Chains A and B, each alone.
Chain A
Amino acid sequence: MPFDQLDLKRAIAGDERAMQRLWSQHAPHIDAVVRRLCDDSELAADISQEVWMQIFRALPSYRGDSQFGTWAHRIAVNRTLNALRKIRRIAKLEVDIEDDSAMTEQDSDRTFVAESIEEAMRKLSPGARAVFVLHDIEGYTHGEIGEELGITSGGSKSQLFKARAKLRKLLVHLVDESSTVVEGKGHVAPV
């Protein structure tokens, strides 16, 4: 169900049903980016609340120049990165990707792709994780990432290169001996 102008007006006016419709439609995508940028689900839930409050507060400023989802997504990324900065999770963006201090060495035998990639992303440094999520999953350009994170476009590319190299290593367990990516328990998908 598209979120139309009438719904927007009602949501601005404080109509809970309209606000809920907006949330229902966009929460899966908005919350997904928050979840991916955070390495802690509890923290992600807290930040998501803040994100949605910010979206509702900012509704009157939405001019319809872009898709509502795109507009809300920007708010989600900004708010999440700001929150992460505040708690010093992105204190240093240009960290050495090979520094494993942020890594937890607990071995996981989970085989689902989703769980594996979540776990692998958790092992990236905060900066590399942010670049990877924004570029490879959310589709941001390096220029946009540079603006969001306050780094150069080249820095973003460098972080992405390192992040991908590390993920390729961390996710190697998804590939079995016959070079297939494990899709779930008992299921394989060809690469």
Chain B
Amino acid sequence: MSHLSEEQLDQVIAAERSREQAPLNEWRTIAARAREEGLIRESQSSRWWTSSQPWLQSAAAVLLLIGGIAIGRATIGLPSTAALPGTAQASGVGVTPSASTAASVPATSASGDASFASVDDAAATLHRAVTDYERASQFLAANNTTGGNTDSLSMYLDRAAALDKIVNATESALRTAPHDPVINQYYLATMGARAATQQLVTQPVVLRGF
């Protein structure tokens, strides 16, 4: 045989068309060129989510607070559905600082059923919520002397391990959908809860105010 048939050639071409090929350059090479030309702006690259999405920064702050408070309250056995006075619930965000789990928080905040007039309106509400949570936390720390049982260190460690798994799962999800607001909120809430739990691990004592 001195020639492929047309069909055989088509098959070879189909194989070539579907062949996966690695990029010709590494990203760092492309990035270096883009940086030279001013196409990459460092401020955008390093702080995109804080500079371009100030609402996300506020949401993160709220969720970190919620996570910490929720974990703290759950740890000492305060009623899980107790709402904090002067919190976002009153401000209309729709975020209820329940102590069920940290992960449950973003589900309510992401419902999107709040009637905001604009992004600025929503951002302002978030800012108010942050302020309210801070004030409420300070008030509780100073005035709520309700005691609780000192949970064992092993319980904190179990919770920390469980939260680590959630963090890993949400980090994995964020690699797939890095800008999904719901996943971001779950991630942030879990991180907040984990940080609070780690503090309890290092200081497993009854916390005033939680």
Q: Which residue of B lies closest to A34 (CB)?
A: B24
Given contacts A20-B31, A53-B34, contact A169 B22 (CB under 8 A): no
Proximity string of chain B (18-40) to chain A, C-beta cutoff 8 Å, 1 when within and 0 when not: 01111111010111011001111
Instruction: Please report A residues at the B interface, Cβ cutoff 8 Å.
Output: 1, 4, 6-7, 10, 13-21, 23-24, 27-28, 31-32, 34-35, 41, 44-45, 48-49, 52-53, 56-57, 113-114, 116-117, 136-137, 164-165, 167-169, 171-172, 174-175, 179, 181, 183, 189, 191
Which chain B residue lies CB-closest to A139? B17
**Are A17's CB and B16's CB within 8 A?**
no
Residue of A nearest to B38 (CB): A14
Cβ–Cβ contact A14 & B41, under 8 A: yes
| Given A13-B48, A27-B24, A41-B24, 13 extra CB contacts under 8 A | A1-B178, A4-B179, A16-B34, A17-B178, A49-B25, A53-B30, A57-B39, A113-B15, A116-B12, A169-B4, A179-B1, A181-B12, A183-B15
Given A113-B16, A137-B16, A164-B6, are A16 and B40 also a contact pair (CB < 8 Å)?
A: yes
On chain A, the residues within 8 Å of B25 by CB distance are 31, 45, 48-49, 52
Q: How far is the CA of A6 from the CA of B31 in the complex (A)?
A: 20
Contact for A167 among B9, B22, B38, CB less than 8 A: B9
Alpha-carbon separation in the docked complex, A117 to B21 (Å): 14
Q: Separation in Å of the A22 CB from the closest CB of chain B?
A: 10
Q: Which of B3, B30, B45, B178 contacts A169 (CB 8 A)?
A: B3
The residues of B with any CB-CB pair to A shorter than 8 Å are: 1-9, 11-13, 15-17, 19-25, 27, 29-31, 33-34, 37-41, 44-45, 48, 52, 176-179
> How many A-B residue contacts, CB cutoff 8 Å?
139
> In angstroms, how far is the closest chain A Cβ from the Cβ of B53?
9
Closest Cβ of chain A to B13, distance in Å, is 5
Give the distance to chain A from B19, nearest Cβ to Cβ, in Å: 5
Chain B residues near A24 (CB-CB < 8 A): 27
Is B24's CB under 8 angstroms from A45's CB? yes
- Determine if A35 and B16 form an interchain contact, defined as CB atoms under 8 angstroms apart: no
Q: Which of A13, A52, A167: most chain B CB closer than 10 A?
A: A52
Q: Is the CB of A17 within 8 A of B15?
A: no
A14–B45 contact, CB under 8 A? yes
Quick one: closest A residue to B10, CB to CB? A136
Interface contact A171-B24, CB-CB below 8 Å: no
Chain B nearest CB: distance from A186 CB in Å?
17
Among B9, B33, B176, the residue within 8 A (CB) of A53 is B33
Q: A137 touching B17 by the CB < 8 A rule?
A: yes
**C-alpha gap A32/B18 in the complex (Å):** 10
CB–CB B24/A117 < 8 A? no
A7 to B45, CA, bound (A): 12
Residue among B7, B8, B29, B44 making CB contact with A15, cutoff 8 Å: B44
Hey, which chain B residues are within 8 Å of A6, CB to CB?
179
Contacts of B178 in A (CB 8 A): 1, 17, 21
B15 proximity list for chain A (CB < 8 A): 113-114, 117, 183
Q: Which residues of A contact B20 (CB under 8 A)?
A: 28
A-chain residues with CB within 8 Å of residue B31 when the two chains form the complex: 16, 19-20
Given A45-B24, A117-B12, A14 and B4 touching (CB < 8 A)?
A: no
